[in-house]
A = this chain, B = another copy of it.
Amino acid sequence: MSRLSVFGLEGIPEITVGADLAGIIADAAAAGDDTALADGDVVVVTQKIVSKAEDRLVPVDPDDPLSHKPLVERESVRILRRRGDLIISETAHGFVCANAGIDLSNVEKGYAALLPVDADRSARRIRDGLRHRAGVKVAVVVSDTFGRTWRRGVTDVAIGCAGVAGVVDLRGTPDALGREMQVTEVAVVDEIAAAAELVMGKSTGIPVAVVRGVDPTWLRDGSVHDEIVRSPRDDLFR
């Protein structure tokens, strides 16, 4: 029977520019109680610590809560909606989200964190590092917190991945009654990011979680950019 285990890694220190995330994650996993990484694990890393390690912090006026708004315009290739201070825009990566993914929470006062330049690449780098540091073949997902249309509340989604599929294509797989299925492309990488968020919380200082037990057929080369980002041409809401 398929059984997943999802747990956070404790003891990750405050991340600074140039930090060796793979080493830090490997150490935290090894130090924890029954959290040592194993082949097939999916390691979910929040965007914020990736952005910090990759020096994506930009100084802003610490006394002006809207001082990052010019950055939002700069990081956007298309503005979809504005309401009050909220901007919904498309980033250079093709993500559509609030404020171009820039935010101030869990960042030192006076700085704003931009999204990683290429979070698939960030995920690959952490994955390679974990193979070298911990001798394990894991997948890595970089997650961020996005709002959705039509539904209240935010959820975590993937902005980058390595070693795990973005989308699993069940087109043509017979359904449980043996009939031909209609198109069903499941965004498993986003569901993995959502599952990880359940053990992270937003203010508990758990920026890395492990999802253990996913279907091994999903553990292939994957990319959020190539598989998840929908092109404006195929999009009905842009």
Contact = CB atoms under 8 A, between A and B. Distances in A.
Interface residues of A, number: 79
A153 interface: yes
Given A145-B184, A176-B204, A181-B105, A227 B152 contact: yes
B186 A151 contact: no
A176 B154 CA distance: 18
Total identical chains: 2
A145 B190 CA distance: 13
A16 interface: no
Given A5-B5, A33-B1, A202 B187 contact: no
Interface of A: 1-8, 10, 32-33, 35, 80-81, 83, 88, 90, 95-96, 103-109, 145, 148-157, 166-167, 170, 173-177, 179, 181-182, 184-188, 190-192, 194-195, 197-199, 201-206, 211, 214-215, 227-230, 234-238
